[in-house]
Amino acid sequence: MTKVIAITNQKGGVGKTTTSVNLAAALAKMKYKILLIDMDPQANATQGIGINRDYIELSTYHVLTGEVGLEKVIQHSYIENLDVAPGEIDLAGIDLELAHVKQGREVRLKQALDKVKDYYDYVFIDCPPALGLLNTNALTSCDTVLIPVQCEYYALEGLTQLLNTIKLTQNHFNKKLSIEGLLLTMLDQRTNLGLEVSQEVRKYFKEKVYKTVIPRNIKLSEAPSAGICIFDYDSSSVGAQAYKELAKEVLSRNG
């Protein structure tokens, strides 16, 4: 049974794409069949897995406009078992592009994904840092939501809005939608603030928060510029070890 997980938080810079790429890569290296769908106009997940976003002919944009099916967009990445549906800058205009569509624009990704998802064990959707049609399509398509939360002062800011969006999606498009988990990211253990925020998030969300915490790590920041995942950039780094542990935790939660 395929599990579809959207990785989202409308707050930018919290580690969504880093998590999407490296969690997908970790599971692919464990021999699971993985599809990574890039719904962000910046297409950083696409670039971060070694696909040049400047030379993409077909992307998730063309799926949402109804020009092609998802199977026409999917590419093999350099990592065995990891396929990518690339994103591109044109996604930024999708709300305007589909403004005239009165019915079904929120379920276009779901309809396309339903035709191919059975080939995969896990599908991860990398969402943009904004609430709009791209995120609605992602939330309508997925089983659960993984929310990266940066260990900083404004960590909980915007979470209420995101949770409301999830509830609205449940009510209107996807009754079974639930929270997969909250992932604490960019923790600097040298600061009291990071530890305080970590405790605060765990206090509110309890067992929904992963035990694994992603630390601040320069190697995680450098890997995307090389177009490779953290395991191929520096497998001994604390960042690589953290994402390997997260992959194990995701597997254990999904039995």
Q: Which domains does the chain have, with CATH numbers?
A: 3-253 (3.40.50.300)
State the pLDDT at residue 206. Answer: 93
Section 111-140 average pLDDT: 95
State the pLDDT at residue 97. Answer: 86
Coil/strand/helix, residue 83: strand
Section 155-174 average pLDDT: 87
Residue range 43-73, pLDDT digits in tens: 999 999 999 988 899 999 999 999 999 999 9
State the pLDDT at residue 192. Answer: 77
CB-based contacts of 37: which residues, under 8 Å, 6+ apart? 60, 84, 85, 109, 113, 123, 124, 125, 126, 138
Residue range 208-218, pLDDT digits in tens: 999 999 999 99
State the pLDDT at residue 101. Answer: 83
State the pLDDT at residue 157. Answer: 74
Coil/strand/helix, residue 84: strand
∠ CA(246), CA(214), CA(157), 5° rounding?
110
Does the pLDDT at position 152 exceed 90? no
Residue range 73-96, pLDDT digits in tens: 999 999 999 999 999 999 999 988
Does the pLDDT at position 154 exceed 80? no
Q: What is the pTM of this model?
A: 0.95
State the pLDDT at residue 21. Answer: 98
Q: pLDDT band at 10, cuts 50/70/90?
A: confident
State the pLDDT at residue 107. Answer: 94
State the pLDDT at residue 230. Answer: 98
CA distance 184 to 47: 24
Residue range 226-243, pLDDT digits in tens: 999 999 999 999 999 999
What is the distance, to the nearest Å, from the Cα of residue 88 to the centroid of all Cα atoms in its chain?
Answer: 15
Does the pLDDT at position 41 exceed 90? yes
State the pLDDT at residue 17. Answer: 96
Section 170-196 average pLDDT: 89
State the pLDDT at residue 235. Answer: 98
- Following DSSP, what letter does each residue of 143-164 receive, concatenated? SEEEEEEESSTTTTTTHHHHHH
Q: pLDDT band at 189, cuts 50/70/90?
A: confident
Summary mean pLDDT of the chain? 93
Q: Where are the alpha helices (DSSP H) in 179-255?
A: 192-205, 218-226, 230-233, 238-253
Say which residue, 255 or 144, is predicted with more confidence. 144
